[in-house]
Structure 1
Amino acid sequence: MIFDRVKPLDAILAVAEKKSLKRTLGPIQLMLFGIGCIIGTGIFVLTSVGAQKAGPGLMLAFAIAGAVCIVAALCYAEIAAMIPVAGSAYTYSYATVGEFLAWTVGWALIMEYAIAAAAVSVGWSGYFAGTILNEFLGVHLPQALAHGPLILGGEEGGVINLPAALIALLVTGLLILGTSESAKVNAVLVAIKVTALTAFIALTLTSPEFSADRFNPFLPAGLFGVWGTGTGAVGAAATMFFAYVGFDAVSTAAEETKDPQRNVPIGLIGSLLFCTVFYILVAAGAIGTIGGQPIMSGGLPVEAGSVELARQCALPQYSQALVCSDEALAHVLREIGFSGVGNMLGVAAFLALPSVILVLLFGQTRIFFVMSRDGLLPPLLSRVHPRFKTPHVVTAITGSLVAIGAAFFPVGQLADISNAGTLYAFLMVAVAVMMLRRTDPARKRSFRVPALWLIGPLTIAGCIFLFVNLPTNAMLFLPIWGVLGLFVYFLYSRRNSLLGRGIVEVHEDDYADLEPPIPGTHDA
């Protein structure tokens, strides 16, 4: 049977106890890591995408996505504190629902990390071209080199997003050389991003340009929009979910955390609540000052990232619209007379987003390591460079694919596809928590999900709800990727699995010399 291999939880925890990683992170540091990974492309860039899908209903979209994340975070808090090991949802699934389903989760996470890194690269490109090149250096990057063909179309001027591809390759090179991100550097970047967003909120909400009339109509595309288009407040929530998913970064830092049973739940839920309030206020400030009504066609919002939207945005009446901006928040501040502050916000995004790409790519190597350690992926993928002591093979492969995705796809489409994999992983975490309550009720749980009988099913239902409200292409990508993963599993992984060969406890001597992992593996 394919569901017969369940890894003993005691063996997983025994591996964690023998790891060489130092437990140095406290609750405040964890919260900073969570905030640092959450605040990124999602709010700096996807604000314009969300407004095109839902208009002022973007504020409701943030609330809907945040509500799903809150229940998911509670499930993550219990299991991450209970099983403080690398691998996140993959490892949790291996200990509860078995190897086959754990493989599907790990396979989905591999896709999610790579596509999320590509999305962040595209988001960084917009601020680089708009703020650094145009505003500071007076250089206007040609459209052919600033956008991929799937956002503007060849005849419309888009050929390749060169800055996005280059930043992905640059970060890949740094990872191969052994660059790591310290907690102090991360804290500085978090401070930069939070300060920039705080300034944005203060300037927009107190601006004379702010008007409640700009929120009318509040739901121009309706609450649900049209199924398969990803429009309406719910469709926008499915996209803006990308702006939240960094909270599970804290769970992957559990192995470096002092007293994880106490500090991991604080870091998870604290960072999520902090960012939720921020997002709603940012959306209110942006829409209330310059408006956020979507460009409509036939009674529906024009598809975000489409050729048609690019053509509409080229028209004089829409050229300065929020929904047409590649650097939404900086654009808003320039429009209301704060060009200097807007440029500083653009610089903040320019400085902070590459570190997000770094932790995403690094996080993917951790998933590869854990799966390779279990025998489910070839040892070649975790081969360590003799000089740099980094997994150069898998890093180079991953970085190259990320650069290709960043070069040719728009940020909205990338975010939607990444969300599909993330939602599946979160769903499986909720399943794992509920199963462990039944199969291992006596194990110590310093944090218990209140009313799990309600929170667990709500998490599963919320993930499914957001998934089915993604655009059709994003929904289809996950099962297609999953089918490819099944071929890999049955042709290679199942017969090479160490657990399948009776090897239960696996040690990590093969990569004991690697640099310590960067706490945090997500950003939005």
Structure 2
Amino acid sequence: MTSMPQQLLRRKPIPREGDETHGPKLSRSIGLFSLTMIGVGGTVGTGIFFILSEAVPTAGPAVIISFLIAGVVAGLTALCYAELAGSVPVSGSSYSYAYTTLGEMPAMGVAACLLLEYGVSTAAVAVGWSQYVNQLFHNLFGFELPAALSNAPEEGGIINLPAVILIALCALLLIRGTKESVITNTIMVVIKLVVLVFFAAIAFTGWNADHFANFAPFGFAGIMSGAGIIFFSFVGLDAVSTAGEEAKNPKRNLPLALIFALVIVTAIYVLVAMAGLGAQAPEQFKDQSAGLSAIIENLVGASWPGTLVAAGAVISIFSVTLVVLYGQTRILFAMSKDGMMPKVFQKVNPRTMTPIPNTIIVAIATGILAGVIPINFLAEMTSIGTLAAFIVVSLGVIILRRREPDLERGFKVPGGYVIPVLSILGCLWIITNLQLITIAVFAVWTALFLLYYFFYARKRSVLAQPGPNSQEVAS
């Protein structure tokens, strides 16, 4: 009989080349370019359109260095994701990686993190989309949606209807088929990148080198604080790893897509930051609510460039919502196949090859959150969930190298254990800057989820059942 510690730490076998995973299968229809666009689409969202008004007052013109530092910390983790994605090419992101390296109970702890990162952020991002739609309507047509239909009850409204509509549209796309969703996301990502390059091109016409004279007014501490603020604009790169079972040639394409997405995101962020600072004095960024739109409206003296950038923000957030909703459904799909979630989450429609019931359930849950609950605090919770998942991935690289040194890897992080260790330290550093209440609530949420595992999922685990999928490895 298996002891309790063996049950809690049993590990899922690593799929080998040509192995068939148990349970329903998804269609491998996503190529390298589309995978890269998933990473960019899940990352370039509201952050870059408004982050300068928060980061510049903290770091000054040296915010450019802050962007690079945040990109390096995110990049360290992205490299670790790339190695694991090329070694364990399955759906489920860091949940699946933890299951094969740390064991079942730690994997469920990571799953709790991912439910925050993807589920809650889907709703939070949709609420942001509602605000930008209203801004765009005001600029184009001179009217806004009634407050009762664009705010949660606690904010004086009845329901945030645009947020609910956005989630419903994204769910319909995902139900229609992964290929169609990926094509739509790719188009939207290209559009928002073009809009950001357009902003930079306009902003560079007003370049003033004097804006960089007092480069680091708040010293190294200000630069690092700015990096902490900016880091969360890089969250979303890991969405690539949720597509493990739908990627073509995953051992090659998943690592490459993660690295390409990181390079594109970092380059566009630094470009926009330099252009914005060149066009506007640092002291003008404080409390500037319209972000990039305001910068070029003030520079050009007309509203049309700002309207175009606002439209880009609307498209950008649509793309982010689509990607995070997709990621959430694929994580639940992987968990259901492992017995950690009810079987309804793994039912695949034979025509569309998508998990339709799963998508509907996630859309309803996130739609309710977005429609009736102000979720500013819950949105902050996504940050610590993401960082905890990042730490597990970096640990997974170290553990898997020691445990499976001969495993075929599509990509291997250079420098031995240096990068995984630096990634862990970087994430821990950012966690120490979070509010204590955020850390406390996260701990309670994780504990509740582990209770669900202990009393429900543990006995239903595929590894606990007799048969070919019941292989258990004691740690």
Q: TM-score range by the shorter chain?
A: 0.7 to 0.9
Provide closer, same or farther for how the CA distance between residues 482 and 164 of structure 1 changes in structure 2, counting only shifts above 3 A.
farther
Structure 1 residues 92 and 502, CA, compared in 2 at 3 Å: closer, same or farther? Answer: farther
- Higher mean C-alpha displacement, 423-432 vs 53-62: 53-62
CA distance 1:410–1:8, shift in 2 (3 Å): closer
Q: What TM-score do the two structures reach when normalised by structure 1?
A: 0.78
Residue in 1 that maps onto 2:343: 379
Residue 261 of structure 2 is matched in structure 1 by 271
Structure 1 residues 392-450: Cα deviation after superposition (integer angstroms, max 9, x where no partner): 65545533443454454466x55532121111111111111111111111112242111
Q: Within 2, Cα distance between the matches of 1:343 and 1:417?
A: 31
Note if contact 1:376-1:494 (Cα within 8 Å) is conserved in structure 2.
yes
Q: Is the 8 A contact 2:118 2:325 kept in 1?
A: yes
Q: How does 1:225-236 map to 2 (within 5 A)?
A: 232-236=222-226
Matched, 1:136 2:100: no
Deviation (angstroms), 1:459: 1.1
- Letter aligned with residue 14 of structure 1: D
1:28-77 CA distance string (max 9 Å, x none): 33323322332222212444344465554543332222111111111111
What amino acid is the match of 2:461?
Answer: S
Q: Secondary structure at the match of 1:15?
A: coil
CA shift for structure 1 position 500: 2.2
Alignment map for 1:201-220 (pairs within 5 Å): 201-207=200-206, 210=208, 212-213=210-211, 216=214, 218-220=216-218
Contact 1:193 / 1:349 at 8 angstroms: preserved in 2?
Answer: yes
Contact 1:148–1:160 under 8 Å retained in 2: yes
1:437-485 Cα offsets, whole Å, 9 max, x none, are 1111111224211113211111111111112222334333321210111
Q: Which residue of 1 aligns with 2:390?
A: 426
Matched, 1:98 2:103: yes
Please show how residues 46-445 of structure 1 align to structure 2 within 5 Å.
46-51=51-56, 54=59, 56=61, 58-131=63-136, 133-141=137-145, 162=160, 165-171=163-169, 174=172, 178=176, 180=178, 181-207=180-206, 210=208, 212-213=210-211, 216=214, 218-220=216-218, 223-224=220-221, 232-293=222-283, 323-325=287-289, 327-337=290-300, 338-382=302-346, 394-406=358-370, 408-409=373-374, 413=377, 415-445=379-409
| Separation in structure 2 between the aligned mates of residue 385 and residue 74 of structure 1, nearest angstrom | 34
Query: Which stretch of the first structure deviates more once superposed, 4-13 or 429-438?
Result: 4-13
Aligned-residue Cα RMSD (Å) equals 3.3
Bigger mean CA deviation after superposition, 7-16 or 336-345: 7-16
**Shift in alpha-carbon separation, 1:80–1:505, aligned structure 2, 3 A:** same
| Matched letter for residue 270 of structure 2 | I
Name the structure 2 match of 1:307.
Answer: none
Q: Which runs of 5+ in 2 are unaligned?
A: 471-475
Moved more, 198-207 or 54-63: 54-63
Q: Distance in 2 between matches of 1:285 and 1:293?
A: 15
Offset of 1:237 from its aligned partner?
3.1
Cα offsets for 1:83-119 (capped at 9, x unmatched):
1111111111111111010111112101110122123
What SS class does the counterpart of residue 143 from structure 2 fall into?
coil
2:265 alignment partner AA: C
* Partner Cα separation in structure 2 for residue 37 and residue 45 of structure 1: 16
Residue 185 of structure 1: CA displacement?
Answer: 2.6
- Deviates most, 180-189 or 12-21: 12-21
Give CA-to-partner distance per residue, 1:276-308, whole Å, 9 cap, x none.
Answer: 1211221233344344549xxxxxxxxxxxxxx
Change (3 A) 1:456 1:348: same
Distance 1:281 1:143, change over 3 A: farther
How far is the alpha carbon of 1:375 from its aligned partner? 1.2
Contact 2:81–2:241 (CA<8 Å) still a contact in 1?
Answer: yes
Change (3 A) 1:38 1:98: same
1:118/1:335 CA distance change after superposition, 3 Å? farther
- The one-letter code of the counterpart of 2:204 is L
Q: Distance in 2 between matches of 1:129 and 1:492?
A: 44
Matched residue type, 1:247: L
* TM-score between both structures, scaled by the size of structure 2: 0.85
Residues 168, 367 of structure 2: 8 Å contact kept: no
Alpha carbons 2:24, 2:347 under 8 Å: kept: no
Alignment partner for residue 486 of structure 1, among 444, 450, 457? 450
State percent identity of aligned pairs.
36
Offset of residue 16 of structure 1: 4.4
Sort the Cα spacing of 1:19 and 1:489 in 2 relative to 1 into closer, same or farther, 3 A: closer
Residue 272 of structure 1 aligns with an amino acid whose one-letter code is: L
Does 1:9 pair with 2:14? yes
SS of residue in 2 equivalent to 1:284: helix
Q: How many residue pairs end up in the alignment?
A: 462
Secondary structure at 1:449 match in 2: coil
